[in-house]
Amino acid sequence: MRSAALQLVSKPPARWITLALVGLALLALPFVVDAVLGRAWVRIIDVALLFIMLALGLNVVVGFAGLLDLGYIAFFAVGAYCYALLASPQFDIHWSFLVLLPLGAFVAAIFGILLGAPTLRLRGDYLAIVTLGFGEIIRIFLNNLNRPINITNGPQGITLIDPLQLGGVALSKTYTIAGFTIAPVHSYYYVFLACAVFSIFLSLRLEDSRIGRAWIAIREDELAASAMGINTRDVKLLAFAMGATFGGLSGGLFAAFQGFVSPESFTLLDSIMVLCMVVLGGMGNVGGVVLGAVLLTALPEALRYTAPLQQQWFGTVYLDPSDLRMLLFGLALVLMMLFRPAGLWPSTTRRRELAGEGRLDTGELPGGAR
Protein backbone atom coordinates (compact mmCIF):
# COMPACT_ATOMS: atom_id res chain seq x y z
CA MET A 1 0.00 0.00 0.00
CA ARG A 2 2.76 2.41 0.98
CA SER A 3 4.87 1.62 -2.09
CA ALA A 4 1.83 2.18 -4.34
CA ALA A 5 1.19 5.55 -2.72
CA LEU A 6 4.84 6.54 -3.15
CA GLN A 7 4.68 5.49 -6.77
CA LEU A 8 1.62 7.69 -7.38
CA VAL A 9 3.33 10.63 -5.68
CA SER A 10 6.53 10.10 -7.67
CA LYS A 11 4.65 10.25 -10.98
CA PRO A 12 3.44 13.75 -11.80
CA PRO A 13 -0.19 13.90 -12.93
CA ALA A 14 -0.84 13.95 -16.66
CA ARG A 15 -2.33 17.42 -16.31
CA TRP A 16 0.93 18.87 -15.04
CA ILE A 17 2.88 17.13 -17.78
CA THR A 18 0.56 18.67 -20.36
CA LEU A 19 0.96 22.12 -18.80
CA ALA A 20 4.75 21.71 -18.80
CA LEU A 21 4.76 20.75 -22.48
CA VAL A 22 2.51 23.68 -23.35
CA GLY A 23 4.80 25.99 -21.39
CA LEU A 24 7.88 24.74 -23.24
CA ALA A 25 6.09 25.16 -26.56
CA LEU A 26 5.15 28.75 -25.71
CA LEU A 27 8.73 29.53 -24.67
CA ALA A 28 10.09 28.20 -27.96
CA LEU A 29 7.30 29.64 -30.12
CA PRO A 30 8.88 33.00 -31.12
CA PHE A 31 12.11 31.39 -32.30
CA VAL A 32 10.28 28.65 -34.23
CA VAL A 33 7.98 31.18 -35.88
CA ASP A 34 10.95 33.42 -36.66
CA ALA A 35 12.78 30.56 -38.37
CA VAL A 36 9.75 29.29 -40.33
CA LEU A 37 7.59 32.33 -41.12
CA GLY A 38 9.83 35.31 -40.46
CA ARG A 39 10.19 37.96 -37.79
CA ALA A 40 7.10 39.84 -38.91
CA TRP A 41 4.93 36.98 -37.65
CA VAL A 42 6.60 37.17 -34.23
CA ARG A 43 5.42 40.77 -34.09
CA ILE A 44 1.92 39.63 -35.04
CA ILE A 45 2.00 37.16 -32.14
CA ASP A 46 3.00 40.03 -29.82
CA VAL A 47 0.00 42.04 -31.00
CA ALA A 48 -2.23 38.98 -30.55
CA LEU A 49 -1.14 38.73 -26.90
CA LEU A 50 -2.09 42.37 -26.38
CA PHE A 51 -5.51 41.73 -27.93
CA ILE A 52 -5.95 38.69 -25.67
CA MET A 53 -5.62 40.99 -22.66
CA LEU A 54 -8.00 43.50 -24.21
CA ALA A 55 -10.57 40.84 -25.06
CA LEU A 56 -10.38 39.34 -21.58
CA GLY A 57 -11.08 42.76 -20.09
CA LEU A 58 -14.10 43.28 -22.33
CA ASN A 59 -15.24 39.75 -21.50
CA VAL A 60 -15.58 40.82 -17.87
CA VAL A 61 -18.00 43.56 -18.92
CA VAL A 62 -19.84 41.79 -21.75
CA GLY A 63 -19.41 38.08 -21.06
CA PHE A 64 -19.67 38.03 -17.27
CA ALA A 65 -21.79 41.07 -16.40
CA GLY A 66 -23.79 41.28 -19.65
CA LEU A 67 -23.14 45.01 -20.21
CA LEU A 68 -22.72 45.83 -23.89
CA ASP A 69 -19.73 48.19 -24.30
CA LEU A 70 -18.91 49.68 -27.73
CA GLY A 71 -16.33 52.17 -26.44
CA TYR A 72 -13.95 49.79 -24.73
CA ILE A 73 -10.96 50.90 -26.81
CA ALA A 74 -11.06 54.19 -24.85
CA PHE A 75 -9.52 52.44 -21.83
CA PHE A 76 -6.79 51.09 -24.09
CA ALA A 77 -6.13 54.69 -25.18
CA VAL A 78 -6.07 55.96 -21.59
CA GLY A 79 -3.45 53.39 -20.59
CA ALA A 80 -1.38 54.07 -23.70
CA TYR A 81 -1.37 57.85 -23.24
CA CYS A 82 -0.65 57.60 -19.50
CA TYR A 83 2.48 55.66 -20.36
CA ALA A 84 3.37 57.85 -23.36
CA LEU A 85 3.02 61.19 -21.55
CA LEU A 86 5.15 60.11 -18.58
CA ALA A 87 7.80 58.17 -20.51
CA SER A 88 8.65 60.45 -23.42
CA PRO A 89 10.10 63.90 -24.23
CA GLN A 90 6.53 65.28 -24.37
CA PHE A 91 6.74 66.38 -20.71
CA ASP A 92 10.39 65.33 -20.40
CA ILE A 93 9.40 62.84 -17.72
CA HIS A 94 10.83 59.35 -17.86
CA TRP A 95 9.37 57.24 -15.11
CA SER A 96 9.97 53.52 -14.78
CA PHE A 97 7.47 51.15 -16.38
CA LEU A 98 7.08 49.51 -12.96
CA VAL A 99 5.28 52.69 -11.91
CA LEU A 100 3.64 53.61 -15.21
CA LEU A 101 1.92 50.31 -16.00
CA PRO A 102 0.05 50.10 -12.65
CA LEU A 103 -0.66 53.85 -12.89
CA GLY A 104 -2.17 53.46 -16.37
CA ALA A 105 -4.29 50.53 -15.19
CA PHE A 106 -5.49 52.57 -12.17
CA VAL A 107 -6.36 55.65 -14.25
CA ALA A 108 -8.21 53.46 -16.74
CA ALA A 109 -10.17 51.92 -13.84
CA ILE A 110 -11.16 55.44 -12.71
CA PHE A 111 -12.39 56.18 -16.23
CA GLY A 112 -14.29 52.88 -16.14
CA ILE A 113 -16.11 54.01 -13.03
CA LEU A 114 -16.80 57.41 -14.61
CA LEU A 115 -18.36 55.62 -17.57
CA GLY A 116 -20.29 53.15 -15.45
CA ALA A 117 -21.77 55.63 -12.96
CA PRO A 118 -24.16 57.45 -15.34
CA THR A 119 -25.10 54.29 -17.24
CA LEU A 120 -26.28 52.12 -14.34
CA ARG A 121 -29.92 52.24 -15.39
CA LEU A 122 -29.30 51.84 -19.11
CA ARG A 123 -29.61 48.55 -20.96
CA GLY A 124 -29.36 47.19 -24.46
CA ASP A 125 -29.19 49.71 -27.30
CA TYR A 126 -29.12 52.72 -24.97
CA LEU A 127 -26.10 51.41 -23.09
CA ALA A 128 -24.35 50.61 -26.39
CA ILE A 129 -24.94 54.17 -27.69
CA VAL A 130 -23.63 55.80 -24.50
CA THR A 131 -20.48 53.66 -24.39
CA LEU A 132 -19.90 54.29 -28.10
CA GLY A 133 -20.12 58.02 -27.46
CA PHE A 134 -17.70 57.74 -24.54
CA GLY A 135 -15.11 56.04 -26.75
CA GLU A 136 -15.43 58.71 -29.42
CA ILE A 137 -15.21 61.52 -26.84
CA ILE A 138 -11.92 60.15 -25.52
CA ARG A 139 -10.48 59.89 -29.05
CA ILE A 140 -11.59 63.41 -29.99
CA PHE A 141 -10.16 64.83 -26.76
CA LEU A 142 -6.82 63.19 -27.43
CA ASN A 143 -6.93 64.54 -30.97
CA ASN A 144 -7.56 68.14 -29.85
CA LEU A 145 -5.60 68.51 -26.60
CA ASN A 146 -2.75 70.27 -28.39
CA ARG A 147 -4.08 73.79 -27.90
CA PRO A 148 -4.03 76.21 -26.17
CA ILE A 149 -1.64 74.00 -24.17
CA ASN A 150 -0.02 71.11 -25.99
CA ILE A 151 -0.69 68.03 -23.89
CA THR A 152 -1.19 65.12 -26.29
CA ASN A 153 0.47 66.63 -29.40
CA GLY A 154 -2.86 66.25 -31.19
CA PRO A 155 -3.11 64.18 -34.37
CA GLN A 156 0.70 64.04 -34.67
CA GLY A 157 0.82 61.73 -31.67
CA ILE A 158 3.62 61.14 -29.20
CA THR A 159 6.94 59.74 -30.39
CA LEU A 160 10.20 58.57 -28.81
CA ILE A 161 8.36 56.71 -26.03
CA ASP A 162 10.68 54.88 -23.67
CA PRO A 163 10.74 51.10 -24.11
CA LEU A 164 10.38 48.69 -21.24
CA GLN A 165 13.67 48.78 -19.38
CA LEU A 166 14.81 47.13 -16.18
CA GLY A 167 18.22 48.16 -14.92
CA GLY A 168 20.47 48.43 -17.95
CA VAL A 169 18.48 45.98 -20.06
CA ALA A 170 16.18 47.63 -22.60
CA LEU A 171 13.81 45.39 -24.52
CA SER A 172 14.17 47.58 -27.61
CA LYS A 173 17.73 46.35 -28.17
CA THR A 174 19.02 43.14 -29.74
CA TYR A 175 21.05 40.79 -27.58
CA THR A 176 23.04 37.64 -28.31
CA ILE A 177 22.98 35.01 -25.58
CA ALA A 178 24.60 31.58 -26.01
CA GLY A 179 24.55 31.96 -29.78
CA PHE A 180 20.85 32.95 -29.88
CA THR A 181 19.93 36.35 -31.27
CA ILE A 182 17.14 37.85 -29.16
CA ALA A 183 15.46 40.66 -31.08
CA PRO A 184 13.08 43.20 -29.47
CA VAL A 185 10.03 41.27 -30.73
CA HIS A 186 11.32 38.19 -28.87
CA SER A 187 11.90 40.11 -25.63
CA TYR A 188 8.49 41.77 -25.73
CA TYR A 189 6.88 38.41 -26.50
CA TYR A 190 7.89 37.00 -23.13
CA VAL A 191 6.70 40.10 -21.25
CA PHE A 192 3.37 40.06 -23.09
CA LEU A 193 3.05 36.31 -22.58
CA ALA A 194 3.54 36.68 -18.82
CA CYS A 195 0.93 39.46 -18.69
CA ALA A 196 -1.51 37.46 -20.84
CA VAL A 197 -1.11 34.35 -18.67
CA PHE A 198 -1.67 36.46 -15.56
CA SER A 199 -4.79 37.97 -17.18
CA ILE A 200 -6.11 34.50 -18.01
CA PHE A 201 -5.47 33.32 -14.45
CA LEU A 202 -7.16 36.40 -13.00
CA SER A 203 -10.16 35.98 -15.33
CA LEU A 204 -10.59 32.35 -14.31
CA ARG A 205 -10.39 33.24 -10.62
CA LEU A 206 -12.88 36.08 -11.09
CA GLU A 207 -15.31 33.79 -12.89
CA ASP A 208 -15.30 31.31 -10.01
CA SER A 209 -15.37 33.96 -7.30
CA ARG A 210 -18.27 35.39 -5.41
CA ILE A 211 -18.03 38.58 -7.49
CA GLY A 212 -18.03 36.59 -10.71
CA ARG A 213 -21.18 34.75 -9.70
CA ALA A 214 -22.78 38.11 -8.88
CA TRP A 215 -21.90 39.39 -12.37
CA ILE A 216 -23.42 36.31 -13.96
CA ALA A 217 -26.56 36.70 -11.84
CA ILE A 218 -26.94 40.28 -13.05
CA ARG A 219 -26.40 39.19 -16.64
CA GLU A 220 -29.17 36.61 -16.42
CA ASP A 221 -31.75 38.62 -14.44
CA GLU A 222 -30.83 41.89 -12.78
CA LEU A 223 -34.14 42.17 -10.93
CA ALA A 224 -33.81 38.70 -9.44
CA ALA A 225 -30.19 39.39 -8.51
CA SER A 226 -31.22 42.55 -6.71
CA ALA A 227 -34.00 40.68 -4.90
CA MET A 228 -31.42 38.14 -3.69
CA GLY A 229 -29.43 40.88 -1.99
CA ILE A 230 -26.79 41.67 -4.64
CA ASN A 231 -25.83 45.34 -4.72
CA THR A 232 -26.22 45.68 -8.48
CA ARG A 233 -24.90 49.26 -8.54
CA ASP A 234 -21.56 48.46 -6.94
CA VAL A 235 -21.16 45.17 -8.78
CA LYS A 236 -21.74 46.85 -12.17
CA LEU A 237 -19.25 49.60 -11.36
CA LEU A 238 -16.75 46.95 -10.33
CA ALA A 239 -17.23 45.21 -13.69
CA PHE A 240 -16.54 48.42 -15.59
CA ALA A 241 -13.50 49.16 -13.41
CA MET A 242 -12.07 45.67 -13.68
CA GLY A 243 -12.55 45.51 -17.44
CA ALA A 244 -10.96 48.96 -17.83
CA THR A 245 -7.97 47.83 -15.75
CA PHE A 246 -7.16 45.13 -18.30
CA GLY A 247 -7.45 47.72 -21.07
CA GLY A 248 -5.22 50.23 -19.30
CA LEU A 249 -2.49 47.65 -18.69
CA SER A 250 -2.48 46.47 -22.29
CA GLY A 251 -2.49 50.11 -23.48
CA GLY A 252 0.68 50.86 -21.53
CA LEU A 253 2.38 47.79 -22.97
CA PHE A 254 1.25 48.83 -26.45
CA ALA A 255 2.80 52.30 -26.08
CA ALA A 256 6.12 50.85 -24.90
CA PHE A 257 6.10 48.28 -27.71
CA GLN A 258 5.26 50.72 -30.53
CA GLY A 259 7.26 53.69 -29.30
CA PHE A 260 4.52 55.88 -30.79
CA VAL A 261 0.82 56.51 -30.09
CA SER A 262 -1.75 58.68 -31.85
CA PRO A 263 -5.55 59.00 -31.65
CA GLU A 264 -5.90 57.07 -34.91
CA SER A 265 -4.84 53.91 -33.09
CA PHE A 266 -8.03 53.97 -30.99
CA THR A 267 -11.01 54.15 -33.35
CA LEU A 268 -14.51 52.71 -33.16
CA LEU A 269 -13.48 49.92 -35.54
CA ASP A 270 -10.95 48.74 -32.96
CA SER A 271 -13.66 48.60 -30.28
CA ILE A 272 -15.88 46.56 -32.59
CA MET A 273 -13.00 44.25 -33.43
CA VAL A 274 -12.36 43.50 -29.75
CA LEU A 275 -16.10 42.93 -29.20
CA CYS A 276 -16.13 40.51 -32.13
CA MET A 277 -13.23 38.61 -30.56
CA VAL A 278 -15.37 38.07 -27.48
CA VAL A 279 -18.57 37.22 -29.37
CA LEU A 280 -17.01 34.94 -31.99
CA GLY A 281 -14.77 33.16 -29.49
CA GLY A 282 -17.49 32.60 -26.92
CA MET A 283 -18.85 35.15 -24.46
CA GLY A 284 -18.19 34.27 -20.86
CA ASN A 285 -15.67 31.55 -21.70
CA VAL A 286 -12.04 32.56 -21.11
CA GLY A 287 -10.69 29.92 -23.50
CA GLY A 288 -13.11 31.00 -26.22
CA VAL A 289 -12.12 34.65 -25.83
CA VAL A 290 -8.44 33.75 -26.19
CA LEU A 291 -9.25 31.73 -29.30
CA GLY A 292 -11.24 34.59 -30.81
CA ALA A 293 -8.44 37.09 -30.14
CA VAL A 294 -5.82 34.86 -31.78
CA LEU A 295 -7.97 34.11 -34.84
CA LEU A 296 -9.05 37.69 -35.52
CA THR A 297 -5.47 38.92 -35.15
CA ALA A 298 -3.75 36.28 -37.26
CA LEU A 299 -6.26 35.64 -40.07
CA PRO A 300 -6.35 39.24 -41.42
CA GLU A 301 -2.56 39.17 -41.66
CA ALA A 302 -2.63 35.80 -43.43
CA LEU A 303 -5.00 37.23 -46.05
CA ARG A 304 -2.25 39.63 -47.16
CA TYR A 305 -0.74 36.70 -49.05
CA THR A 306 -3.78 36.56 -51.32
CA ALA A 307 -2.52 39.53 -53.39
CA PRO A 308 0.64 37.81 -54.72
CA LEU A 309 -1.35 34.59 -55.22
CA GLN A 310 -3.92 36.42 -57.37
CA GLN A 311 -1.10 38.06 -59.30
CA GLN A 312 0.50 34.67 -59.88
CA TRP A 313 -2.70 32.85 -60.87
CA PHE A 314 -4.65 35.52 -62.78
CA GLY A 315 -1.99 38.07 -63.74
CA THR A 316 -3.76 40.83 -61.79
CA VAL A 317 -5.20 41.53 -58.33
CA TYR A 318 -9.01 41.42 -58.51
CA LEU A 319 -9.67 41.71 -54.78
CA ASP A 320 -7.53 43.93 -52.60
CA PRO A 321 -6.51 42.07 -49.41
CA SER A 322 -8.08 44.76 -47.19
CA ASP A 323 -11.40 44.51 -49.07
CA LEU A 324 -11.27 40.72 -49.00
CA ARG A 325 -10.58 40.81 -45.28
CA MET A 326 -13.67 42.88 -44.55
CA LEU A 327 -15.77 40.75 -46.92
CA LEU A 328 -14.76 37.50 -45.23
CA PHE A 329 -15.05 39.09 -41.81
CA GLY A 330 -18.64 40.16 -42.46
CA LEU A 331 -19.50 36.75 -43.92
CA ALA A 332 -18.01 35.04 -40.86
CA LEU A 333 -20.14 37.21 -38.56
CA VAL A 334 -23.32 36.36 -40.46
CA LEU A 335 -22.56 32.63 -40.44
CA MET A 336 -21.65 32.67 -36.75
CA MET A 337 -24.87 34.43 -35.78
CA LEU A 338 -26.87 31.91 -37.83
CA PHE A 339 -25.20 28.65 -36.83
CA ARG A 340 -23.12 29.23 -33.68
CA PRO A 341 -24.45 32.31 -31.85
CA ALA A 342 -22.83 31.12 -28.62
CA GLY A 343 -19.37 31.33 -30.25
CA LEU A 344 -16.73 28.96 -31.54
CA TRP A 345 -15.90 27.77 -28.01
CA PRO A 346 -18.93 28.66 -25.89
CA SER A 347 -19.13 28.48 -22.15
CA THR A 348 -20.92 25.28 -21.15
CA THR A 349 -23.06 27.15 -18.65
CA ARG A 350 -23.83 29.95 -21.08
CA ARG A 351 -24.74 27.51 -23.86
CA ARG A 352 -27.09 25.62 -21.55
CA GLU A 353 -28.72 28.87 -20.41
CA LEU A 354 -29.25 30.09 -23.98
CA ALA A 355 -30.68 26.74 -25.02
CA GLY A 356 -33.05 26.74 -22.06
CA GLU A 357 -34.28 30.25 -22.90
CA GLY A 358 -34.75 29.44 -26.57
CA ARG A 359 -32.20 32.09 -27.57
CA LEU A 360 -29.46 29.82 -28.83
CA ASP A 361 -30.62 30.17 -32.40
CA THR A 362 -31.33 33.89 -32.27
CA GLY A 363 -27.86 35.32 -31.69
CA GLU A 364 -29.09 37.66 -28.98
CA LEU A 365 -26.37 39.71 -27.31
CA PRO A 366 -26.24 40.79 -23.66
CA GLY A 367 -28.79 43.31 -22.52
CA GLY A 368 -31.33 42.34 -25.19
CA ALA A 369 -29.32 43.77 -28.10
CA ARG A 370 -28.88 41.81 -31.33
pLDDT digit string (tens) for 326-339?
A: 888 788 888 888 88
Residues 10 and 139 in one domain: no
Q: How far is CA 327 from the centre of its chain?
A: 23
The Cα 97–Cα 150 span in angstroms is 23
Residues 181 and 310 in one domain: yes
CATH number of the domain within which 250 lies: 1.10.3470
Lowest mean pLDDT among 9-13, 49-53, 58-62, 132-136: 9-13
Note the pLDDT of residue 245.
95
Mean pLDDT within 206-229:
90
pLDDT of 365 strictly over 60: no
Overall number of domains in the chain: 2
What pTM does this model have? Answer: 0.87
Mean pLDDT within 155-181:
87
Note the pLDDT of residue 241.
95
Q: How confident is the model at residue 362 (pLDDT cuts 50, 70, 90)?
A: very low
Q: What is the pLDDT of residues 272-326, one digit of tens each?
A: 999 999 988 888 899 999 999 999 998 888 888 777 877 778 777 777 777 777 8
| Strand, helix or coil for residue 170 | strand
| Strand, helix or coil for residue 156 | helix
The Cα 336–Cα 341 span in angstroms is 6
The Cα 309–Cα 315 span in angstroms is 9
Residues 31 and 41 in one domain: no
Residues 163 and 223 in one domain: yes
Structural domain range at position 298: 37-368
Q: What is the pLDDT of residues 229-280, one digit of tens each?
A: 889 999 999 999 999 999 999 999 999 999 999 999 899 889 999 999 998 8
Residues 272 and 353 in one domain: yes
Note the pLDDT of residue 358.
53
Mean pLDDT, all residues of the chain: 86
The Cα 87–Cα 94 span in angstroms is 4
Q: What is the pLDDT of residues 64-82, one digit of tens each?
A: 998 988 999 999 999 999 9
Residues 28 and 155 in one domain: no
Helix (H) or strand (E) holding 194, with range, is helix 184-208
> Is-contact 130 122, C-beta < 8 A?
yes
Residues 101 and 237 in one domain: yes
The Cα 81–Cα 295 span in angstroms is 27
pLDDT of 349 strictly over 80: no
Note the pLDDT of residue 323.
78
Count of all residues that appear for the chain in the document: 370
Percent of the chain's residues with pLDDT above 90? 51
Lowest mean pLDDT among 32-36, 123-127, 197-201: 123-127
Q: Using alpha carbons only, what angle is made at residue 348 by residues 272 and 225, rounded to the nearest 5 degrees?
A: 80
Residues 270 and 175 in one domain: yes
Q: How confident is the model at residue 106 (pLDDT cuts 50, 70, 90)?
A: very high
